[in-house]
Chains A and B, each alone.
Chain A
Amino acid sequence: MSEKRDGLFARAEEVLSLFRRGAEFTQDLIKENERLRLQVAHFEAQNLAASDDVQWEKLRQALIARIENLEGEKQDILDRLNQVEGENRHFAERYLEIEEENNNLASLYVASYQLHSTLDLSEVIKIVVEIVINLIGAEVFAIYVLDERTEVLTPVAAEGREIADFPPCQLGQGMVGVAVASGETQCGDAAGPGQPEHPLVCVPLRVQERPIGAIAIHKLLQQKDGFTPLDHELFTLLGGHAATAVFAARLYSQSERKLNTIQGFIDLLTK
């Protein structure tokens, strides 16, 4: 009895499932029919517009307006692209300029730091020589120091030639003497004879208005074509900082000597 009832329920379930699938299929058919009807209505409207001159003209005008609008938008985008590209170029150029400026500042900082790293006069002169060779790129040059009592500029260091090849000169005389007396950097003729009296450039070393000495550059390294803006910055830096360093080292050396003399005198008195 129970088996018969289970069989009936199973059959009923199968029939119900069949009806459900049939209902789903009908729903799909209705949807597809709706879609096709809308499409037919759309095509009919287009056909109507195409067949009616007024409707067609409206459609044409609308399309032209849309194209003009899109053209305008395209032009705006192209203008903005050009603007952004221009800005990028400008930023790239600025980046290079800043990088160069940064390198130049590093060179100036290193030169300045080294010049004031010692109070030993011979060390200071050695550092000036290093700066002129390595940072400026000079092959032949001399460094002069002024004797304030005699007003004679005497070479204390030279590169590329013997120091004896650079004769001492009187303050205010010759290119070196004039540069030191006036405090103005003197530029010679690059195609000149290259004699000790005719340097390419002469940089006076001064502490405020007090003349200290000069750097006379006669020849640049063969790979160096000429002076760069950084070289001129270095000339300005050397003109002030090298002079201060030489002046401080000389004062320190004098005070050391005096201190030793006084100490010796005190020792003599107290013994």
Chain B
Amino acid sequence: MARHRILIVEDSPTMRQLLVFALKRLKEVDIVEAQDGMDGLRKVSSDHFDLALIDINMPVMDGLKLISLIRGEDNLRAMPIIVITTEGAQEDRERAIALGANEYLAKPIQANRVLRLAQSLLKAE
């Protein structure tokens, strides 16, 4: 079975470490971290990823801008995206989904929920 590659785009090192902890429980995964939207865009453009977890509020480039740029690229259109954010309002969720996010998780997150969503999106891919 091929290894899955997961990209975490999150400015908070604490959240990144927590997500890495949760996702490491998946078998056969390589996890790459990006600290803001621009860093995430660079990494997603130069490498293949099977799943991306993206925060919304980030310096340099926010998560929504990053999602719209990713969905504008033909070769990245099918990559599943999970949004992880402090914004829990329904309109924020709808905006992210409209831009192309597959799932939306409001903080504080539950590690097993992230794990299950990641598992289901990687299987569906």
> Which residues does A use to contact B, with CB under 8 Å?
99-100, 103, 106-107, 109-111, 113-114, 117, 127, 130-131, 133-137, 139, 221-224
Contacts and interface: CB of A to CB of B under 8 A. Distances in A.
A106 B21 CA distance: 7
Nearest to B24: A106
Nearest to B13: A114
A40 B111 CA distance: 75
Interface residues of B, number: 17
B21 A223 contact: no
B117 interface: no
B14 to A, nearest CB: 5
B13 A130 contact: yes
A110 B111 contact: no
A219 B122 CA distance: 36
B15 interface: yes
B86 A110 contact: no
Contacts of A109: 21
B15 A134 contact: yes
Contacts of B18: 106-107, 110, 134-135
Contacts of B119: none
Contacts, number: 59
12 contacts: A103-B110, A110-B21, A114-B17, A134-B12, A134-B15, A134-B86, A134-B107, A137-B86, A221-B106, A222-B89, A223-B88, A223-B106
Nearest to A128: B14
A100 B111 CA distance: 9
Contacts of B106: 221, 223
A144 B22 CA distance: 32
Interface of B: 12-15, 17-18, 21-22, 86, 88-89, 106-108, 110-112
Nearest to B18: A110
A127 B18 CA distance: 13
Which 7 A-B pairs give the minimum distances between C-beta atoms? A223-B88, A137-B108, A103-B111, A223-B106, A130-B14, A130-B12, A106-B21
Nearest to B16: A110
B14 A136 contact: no
A98 to B, nearest CB: 11
Contacts of A114: 13-14, 17
**Which of A114, A131, A139 has most B Cβ within 10 Å?**
A114
Contacts of B15: 130, 134
Contact of A111 (B14, B110, B112): B14
B14 A135 contact: yes
B21 A221 contact: no
Contacts of A111: 14
Contacts of A224: 88, 108
A133 B110 CA distance: 14
A134 B111 CA distance: 12
B111 A133 contact: no
Given A106-B111, A107-B111, 9 more contacts: A99-B112, A106-B21, A107-B18, A110-B18, A134-B18, A135-B14, A137-B108, A221-B88, A223-B106
Given A130-B12, A221-B86, A222-B88, A135 B108 contact: yes
